[in-house]
């Protein structure tokens, strides 16, 4: 795709000598070029190291790699990263591998017990279909969307996120991310009810998940019979009342995609208010990579000591770039996302070639209070970092293709 774009740019440059495009050797884009080279190397090595259906998820404290099997909520991210890597660099080898790693996930279409079907199938199969237009990817996308839509309860007005543990009818802020799959499937498979469910879920979540300052609770538990809110709580944050960093990112990304798909101005306003909460947060560190929860701030846990969450930063950057395209003057969002991407592309976060078990980013947090995946690479940090780089390249009109050796 980017190759085609490069060709277009080359022809345009010959045809219209005044065609405005950034100077690819411009100092200000050097970080981007360097990151693309590292990404291409690491992703290619990863495809030689890992097997389809057993995707790299994170690094365990003993240095071994935690793999994501077919029922793991993160399993779609590695194939999705390969697709985004192909888009970013134009390396056809990545597209070939992406196809193998995607098709290995076919059985996910039968899962009915989680809202994560969007993460699992839309990030893998969804990108595959968007990029290739190959109908081989459609059956899994069709079944998965139906199973996701079946989790919507019109009485309560939300999709049920989880089937496990002590909750009655739990809805997590992360669930906003999976609405994108429903909006897309509504059009692709002519199922307007899917889009209606997505809109209603977003409206109910807006009412019950958010505080006055536009920060969000992680989990809202509903009474399945009456739809009454039973409890507002956390699962991965510091406390029920704290602002779990990735959750704030999920909300920002979610309302941006809802506005893009529905054009309901309430969703745009919500996205801008969440962006403002994040961007003006007094405890956002200078490099704009948040600590895993914005409320970690006691004397023992200053921003310098507490683990950062690169995955939250990547989600926020990608969402802000998307939001910038939906408003009249999106410059403040692009500038902020650019700062994040420069931080993530620096040696502090981006792996050096051959390091980090071929993951791209270091320093994310999965679930701190469960002592799970603390200060580790995470497959979804890499995925949203790549998505953000692609969005940034589009906005800045950077030709991100690299010389394939």
CA dist., res. 373 & res. 383, Å (int): 17
The least CB distance from residue 374 to ligand GLY, in Å, is 12
Smaller CB separation from ligand GLY, 47 or 318:
318
The least CB distance from residue 84 to ligand GLY, in Å, is 19
Please tell me which residue in 72, 116, 293, 399 is annotated as part of the active site. 116
Smaller CB separation from ligand GLY, 174 or 375:
174
Please tell me which residue in 72, 91, 143, 174 is annotated as part of the active site. 174
The least CB distance from residue 264 to ligand GLY, in Å, is 24
The least CB distance from residue 384 to ligand GLY, in Å, is 11
352-381: contacts with ligand GLY (CB under 6 A)? 366
Smaller CB separation from ligand GLY, 133 or 371:
371
Smaller CB separation from ligand GLY, 157 or 366:
366
Kindly report the three-state secondary structure assignment for every residue of the chain. Answer: CHHHHHHHHHHHHHHCCCCCCCCCCCHHHHHHHHHHHHHHHHHHHHHHHCECCEEEEEECCCCCEEEECCCCCCCCHHHHHHHHHHHHHCCHHHHHHHHHHHHCCHHHHHCCCECCHHHHHHHHHHHHHHHHCCHHHHHHHHHHHHHHHCCEECCCCEECCECCCCCCCEEEHHHHHHHHHHHHHHHHCCCHHHHHHHHHHHHHHHHHCECCCCCECCEEEECCCCCCEEEEECCCCCCCCCCEHHHHHHHHHHHHHHHHHHCCHHHHHHHHHHHHHHHCCCCCCCCCCCECECCCCCCCCCCCCCCECHHHHHHHHHHHHHHHCCCCCCHHHHHHHHHHHHHHCCCCCECCCCCHHHCCECCEEEEHHHCEEEEECEHHHHHHHHHHHHHHHHHHCCCCCCCCC
Smaller CB separation from ligand GLY, 94 or 317:
317
Smaller CB separation from ligand GLY, 183 or 368:
368
47 touches ligand GLY (CB under 6 A): no
Paired tokens of 143: 């079944």
The least CB distance from residue 149 to ligand GLY, in Å, is 19
The question of whether 174 is a catalytic residue gets the answer yes
x/- contact string, 199-218, with ligand GLY (CB under 6 A)?
--------------------
The least CB distance from residue 311 to ligand GLY, in Å, is 8
236 touches ligand GLY (CB under 6 A): yes
293 touches ligand GLY (CB under 6 A): no
118-177: contacts with ligand GLY (CB under 6 A)? 174
x/- contact string, 241-270, with ligand GLY (CB under 6 A)?
-----x------------------------
Of all residues in the shown chain, the one whose CB is closest to ligand GLY is 174
The question of whether 240 is a catalytic residue gets the answer no
Which residues bind to ligand GLY, rule: CB under 6 A? Answer: 174, 236, 246, 366
Active site residues per annotation = 116, 174
């Amino acid at each position: 795709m980017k190759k085609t774009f490069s060709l277009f740019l080359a022809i345009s440059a010959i045809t219209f000598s005044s065609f405005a495009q950034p100077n690819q050797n411009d100092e200000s884009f050097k970080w981007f070029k360097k990151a693309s080279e590292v990404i291409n190397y690491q992703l290619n090595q990863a495809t030689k190291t890992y097997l389809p259906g057993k995707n790299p998820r994170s690094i365990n404290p003993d240095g071994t790699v935690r793999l994501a099997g077919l029922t793991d909520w993160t399993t779609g991210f590695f194939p999705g990263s390969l697709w985004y890597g192909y888009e970013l660099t134009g390396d056809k080898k990545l597209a070939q591998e992406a196809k193998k790693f995607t098709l290995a996930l076919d059985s996910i279409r039968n899962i009915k017990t989680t809202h994560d079907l969007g993460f699992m199938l839309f990030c893998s199969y969804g990108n595959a279909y968007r990029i290739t237009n190959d109908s081989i990817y459609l059956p899994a996308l069709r079944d998965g969307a139906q199973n996701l839509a079946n989790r919507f309860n019109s009485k309560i007005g939300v999709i049920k996120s989880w089937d496990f543990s002590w909750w009655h009818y739990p809805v997590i802020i992360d669930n906003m991310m999976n609405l994108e799959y429903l909006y897309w499937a509504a059009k692709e498979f002519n199922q307007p009810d899917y889009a209606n469910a997505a809109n209603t879920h977003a409206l109910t979540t807006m009412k019950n998940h958010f505080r006055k300052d536009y920060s969000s609770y992680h989990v809202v538990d509903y009474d399945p019979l009456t739809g009454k809110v039973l409890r507002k709580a956390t699962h991965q944050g510091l406390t029920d009342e704290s602002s779990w960093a990735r959750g704030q990112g999920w909300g920002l990304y979610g309302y941006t995609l809802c506005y893009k798909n529905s054009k309901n101005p309430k969703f745009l306003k919500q996205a801008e208010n969440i962006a403002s909460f994040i961007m003006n947060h007094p405890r956002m560190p200078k490099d704009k990579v948040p600590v895993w929860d914005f409320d970690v701030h006691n004397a023992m846990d200053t921003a310098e000591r507490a683990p950062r969450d690169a995955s939250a930063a990547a989600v926020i950057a990608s969402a802000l770039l998307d939001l910038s395209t939906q408003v009249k003057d999106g410059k403040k969002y692009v500038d902020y996302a650019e700062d994040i991407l420069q931080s993530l592309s620096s040696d502090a976060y981006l792996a050096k070639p051959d390091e980090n078990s071929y993951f791209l980013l270091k320093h994310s947090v999965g679930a701190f209070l469960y002592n799970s995946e603390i200060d580790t690479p995470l497959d979804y940090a890499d995925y949203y970092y790549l998505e953000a780089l692609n969005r940034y390249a589009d906005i800045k009109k950077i030709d991100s293709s690299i010389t394939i050796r």
